[in-house]
Amino acid sequence: MEAQNDIALNDLSNYLGSNIQDEATQHLQDAPSHHEFSLPQADGGKHAWMFLAAGFVVEALVWGFPFSFGIFQEYYTTHEPFSTESSGVAVIGTTATGIMYMAGLLLYPAYKKWPHLANRSKWVGMPIMSAGLIAASFANNVNTLIITQGAIYAIGGSIIYFPAMLFVDEWFIQRKGLAFGVIWAGTGAAGLMIPFLLNTLLSHYGHRTTLRIWALTILLLSMPLLPFLRPRLPISQTTHSPRYGLSFLSSPSFWLLQAGVVIESLGYFLPSIYLPTFAAHLGLSPSTGSLLVALLNGAAVFATIIMGMLIDRFHVTTVILLSTIGATLSVFVLWGLSTALPLLVVFSIMYGFFAGGFVSTNAGIIKLMKGHDQSADVGMMIGVTSAGRGIGSVLSGPLSEVLLRGGSWKGAGNGYGSGFGELIVFTGVTAAVGGMSFFGKRLGWIR
């Protein structure tokens, strides 16, 4: 029994770092003292892969819907009762993504204070999401949609999403970048299929029935998976003062990387929101708009996994540079000069890959900060970096409305002169500036 506890303690110590070995000891003291006690295998094994599979599907269900909001954007702006107040429609989607990204700032400290909360609260996340969509199906104005399809949906999504992110760090240690990349690929995988499904449902049944169908779908698909979305490490039965590991907040390297995340996020969500509307402006069908969003999201599936693997091998700023160059060129050259479907298809794939892979750099930020200080808390880092992305998401909705109202570039026979020109340039500039951390590394500002 003592020898087995020593093995488990070493496993915990390798994960948590020698400077917090006392916390690992506390975990073992509080765990059941059965002769057969042992930790599930990390970085592989049946339990780890089942956790990863469940995380992939839950990620797809939570994020796939708001990342396909462009289909609703085009529908709401052209159908009653919302078309008369269409100027605020974009805020619905950016509110949902923004709240889900920022919620970690509140949830992670709560999970540290009450360790059981993460594993228990996941059961109420999906019901809240479904309730938000059902409530949205009765809405008659945009403000109600912002509250229901935007805020309530996001609150439920956050409650199930952030525990999964917290548990990833327990199940995968050496393969952390790959694990995060696989889970984040769930958003792109869902975004490859959901736009076509939503377009079909909206065209045949309208938004009210579509929202109710999707509410029931996510509930039925997710609940059987939740038992596999569990922590690897034993949860302490005793109450003790949590240590939040906030040393990374005093690091200039972290804040330069975080600034890049915020700036990149200001424009990142705009193509997925406005591509269906842009396609309709060119005279293309709603199904074509669905295709463009699907291609954008589908390319992100491969990007998050590939860039997650690169994060495990290269410095985070190198991967950021790769993402930045590809995303910037795709916006300025392909979207800006597009006049027909072929160029838009190439843009969707290229932007989806390079911009979609940017999210995997969050794992690189975590890796870098943990390399500087092993006591840095992964959950809090995910919360802060996600909040930066959320700030960009929330602001991008109102900003995009202002940019579209400008319309000063109309006239040229390409994307720049379509009325979307200022929006396109803004997206490209934010993508370019979002990669500033690479130059910070060259100047010695990032270690």
pLDDT at 28 over 60: no
Q: How confident is the model at residue 67 (pLDDT cuts 50, 70, 90)?
A: confident
pLDDT, the chain, mean: 85
Find, among 142, 146, 394, the residue nearest to 265 by Cα.
394
Helix segments in 223-360, DSSP class H: 252-268, 270-281, 286-311, 316-329, 336-337, 341-356
What DSSP assignment string belongs to 27-96?
HHHHS---TT--PPPSSSSHHHHHHHHHHHHHHHHHHTTGGGHHHHHHHHTTSTTTGGGGGGTHHHHHHH
CA distances, 288 to each of 138, 173, 291, 293, 355 (Å): 28, 42, 5, 9, 21
Q: How far apart are CA 386 and CA 101, in angstroms?
A: 5
Instruction: Please compute the mean of the pLDDT values over residues 130-152 and round it to a whole number.
Output: 96
Higher pLDDT, 410 or 445: 445
Per the CB < 8 A criterion, the answer to whether 232 and 171 are in contact is yes
Q: How far apart are CA 59 and CA 184, in angstroms?
A: 7
pLDDT at 329 over 90: yes
Find, among 94, 96, 21, 71, the residue nearest to 269 by Cα.
94
pLDDT at 31 over 60: no
Q: What is the pLDDT of residue 407?
A: 63
SS3 category, 137: coil
Q: How far apart are CA 439 and CA 318, in angstroms?
A: 10
Q: Of 4-13, 15-24, 77-86, where does the model show the most confidence?
A: 77-86
Higher pLDDT, 296 or 173: 296
Express each pLDDT in 351-410 by its tens digit. 999 999 898 898 899 889 988 888 888 878 888 998 999 898 889 888 998 888 876 677
pTM, two decimal places: 0.77
CA Rg, the chain, in Å? 22
Vertex 374: Cα angle to 372 and 376 (nearest 5)? 90
pLDDT at 427 over 70: yes
Per the CB < 8 A criterion, the answer to whether 272 and 393 are in contact is no
Per the CB < 8 A criterion, the answer to whether 176 and 309 are in contact is no
Q: How confident is the model at residue 19 (pLDDT cuts 50, 70, 90)?
A: very low
Instruction: Please compute the mean of the pLDDT values over residues 45-49 and round it to a whole number.
Output: 89
Q: How confident is the model at residue 14 (pLDDT cuts 50, 70, 90)?
A: very low
Express each pLDDT in 178-231 by its tens digit. 888 888 888 888 888 899 999 999 999 999 999 999 999 999 998 999 999 888
pLDDT at 1 over 80: no
Vertex 387: Cα angle to 383 and 390 (nearest 5)? 140
What's at 47, amino acid-wise? H
CB under 8 A, 24+ apart: contacts of 371-374:
372/247, 372/248, 372/251, 372/253, 372/447, 373/245, 373/247, 373/248, 374/16, 374/17, 374/18, 374/19, 374/20
Q: How confident is the model at residue 8 (pLDDT cuts 50, 70, 90)?
A: very low
Q: What is the pLDDT of residue 255?
A: 95
Instruction: Please compute the mean of the pLDDT values over residues 19-26 and round it to a whole number.
Output: 41
Instruction: Please compute the mean of the pLDDT values over residues 43-71 and round it to a whole number.
Output: 90
CA distances, 293 to each of 63, 88, 278, 357 (Å): 14, 21, 11, 16
Q: How far apart are CA 310 and CA 361, in angstroms?
A: 9
Burial class of residue 75 (count of CB atoms within 10 Å of its CB; 0-12, 13-18, 19+): buried
Q: How far apart are CA 183 and CA 116, in angstroms?
A: 23
The distance of Cα 416 from the centroid of its chain, to the nearest Å, equals: 29
Least confident of 31-40, 137-146, 199-208: 31-40
Express each pLDDT in 223-277 by its tens digit. 999 999 888 888 765 445 567 788 899 999 999 999 999 999 999 999 988 999 9
Least confident of 16-30, 224-238, 294-308, 321-335: 16-30
Domains contained in the chain, CATH given: 46-232+244-442 (1.20.1250.20)
